[in-house]
C-alpha cells in the first residue's frame, strides 16, 4: 500500500526534475540574466552559505505559524460547534464569517502592527485570520452532514446530546475538519511570512524583504524554497494525523 502511494508521486517528481534541469540549462546558456533569475545551483549554494541565518529566521516563522494554527483550531472548532447547536446563531454569524473573508489582510496588517507593535502577537493574529475560516467552515459542514438516521437511533436509546456529539457528530465531522486543517496548515506559513514582511524584527518575511532590497535574488529564491518546504511539511503532518485519527475514512 505504501509503495503504491509513493508511486503516485513519481509523475510530480519527474516533472519537478525536468523543470529544474531546463531552468538550469536556460541560465547556463545565458538565455536569461542570472542576476534576474538565478540558476537552481546558485540558489542551493546561497541556501548552504546562509543556512545558519535562514534557520534562525525559520524557527521564528515556524513558531508564529504553529501558535496561530493551534489557536485557529481551537476557535474554529468552537465556532463550528456553536453554529451547529444554534440555528439562529448560524443564520446570524455565518454570513458575517463569509463577509469577513472579503476584507484584504494587506489593509489590516499595518493596523495590527500599529496596535500591537512589532512582536509576535500581530503575526499570530494574521495567521489566525488566514487559518480560522477554512477550519470553522469545513468543520461546520461536517457537523451538518451527519447521518440523521444515526442521530435518531441514538435518541431512541435515550442518548444525551453529549453522547450523540461524541459518538456520531464529532467522528463524522473529522474528515471535513482535516480537509479544512490541510488548507489552514499551508496558509499558516504564508500568513506568518506576510505579517513579518509588513514589519518584524526576525523571521523569513523580514529576511526576504532585506535580501530583496539588497538584490540578493539567489537568497530570495532560497527563502521561498524554504517557505514552500515548511508548508509541505505541515501539510504532510496534518495528512499523517488524519490517517491516524480517521483510519476508517478513505478519500
pLDDT tens profile 188-238? 999 999 888 877 788 898 999 999 888 889 999 999 999 999 999 999 999
Place of cell 490541510: 182
Nearest to 193 by CA among 123, 251, 134, 250: 123
Model pLDDT, residue 250: 59
3-class state of residue 194 by DSSP: helix
Task: Give 224 or 162, the one with higher predicted confidence.
Answer: 224
Whether the model clears a pTM of 0.95, i.e. scores above it, the answer is: no
- pLDDT, one tens digit per residue, over 94-135 is 777 777 777 777 778 788 888 887 788 889 999 998 899 899
Model pLDDT, residue 61: 94
Q: What is residue 157's DSSP assignment? A: T
Phi/psi region, residue 215 (left: phi>0; alpha: psi -120 to 50; beta: rest), is left
**Mean pLDDT value of segment 136-140:** 90
Model pLDDT, residue 177: 92
Helices marked H in the chain — which ranges? Answer: 2-7, 10-28, 40-49, 51-85, 87-100, 105-116, 120-144, 148-156, 161-164, 170-198, 204-213, 217-245
Average pLDDT along the chain: 85
Give the confidence band of 90 by pLDDT, cuts at 50, 70, 90: confident
Sign (positive or negative) of CA dihedral 13, 69, 83, 95: negative
Amino acid at each position: 500500500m505504501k509503495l503504491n502511494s509513493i508511486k503516485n508521486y513519481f509523475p510530480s517528481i519527474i516533472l519537478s526534475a525536468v523543470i529544474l534541469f531546463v531552468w538550469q540549462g536556460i541560465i547556463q546558456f545565458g538565455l536569461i540574466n542570472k542576476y534576474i533569475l538565478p540558476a537552481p545551483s546558485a540558489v542551493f549554494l546561497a541556501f548552504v552559505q546562509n543556512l545558519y541565518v535562514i534557520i534562525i529566521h525559520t524557527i521564528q516563522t515556524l513558531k508564529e505559524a504553529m501558535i496561530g494554527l493551534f489557536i485557529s483550531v481551537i476557535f474554529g472548532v468552537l465556532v463550528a460547534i456553536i453554529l451547529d447547536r444554534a440555528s439562529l446563531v448560524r443564520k446570524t454569524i455565518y454570513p458575517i464569517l463569509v463577509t469577513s473573508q472579503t476584507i484584504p489582510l494587506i489593509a489590516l496588517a499595518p493596523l495590527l502592527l500599529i496596535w500591537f507593535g512589532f512582536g509576535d502577537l500581530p503575526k499570530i493574529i494574521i495567521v489566525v485570520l488566514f487559518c480560522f475560516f477554512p477550519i470553522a467552515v469545513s468543520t461546520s459542514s461536517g457537523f451538518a452532514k451527519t447521518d440523521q438516521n444515526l442521530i435518531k437511533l441514538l435518541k431512541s436509546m435515550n442518548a444525551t446530546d453529549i453522547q450523540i456529539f461524541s459518538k456520531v457528530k464529532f467522528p463524522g465531522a473529522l474528515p471535513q475538519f482535516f480537509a479544512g486543517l490541510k488548507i489552514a496548515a499551508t496558509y499558516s506559513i504564508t500568513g506568518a511570512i506576510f505579517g513579518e514582511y509588513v514589519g518584524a524584527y526576525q523571521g523569513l518575511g523580514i529576511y526576504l524583504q532585506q535580501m530583496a532590497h539588497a538584490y540578493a535574488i539567489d537568497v530570495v529564491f532560497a527563502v521561498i524554497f524554504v517557505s514552500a518546504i515548511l508548508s509541505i511539511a505541515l501539510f504532510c503532518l496534518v495528512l499523517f494525523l488524519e490517517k491516524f485519527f480517521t483510519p476508517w475514512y478513505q478519500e
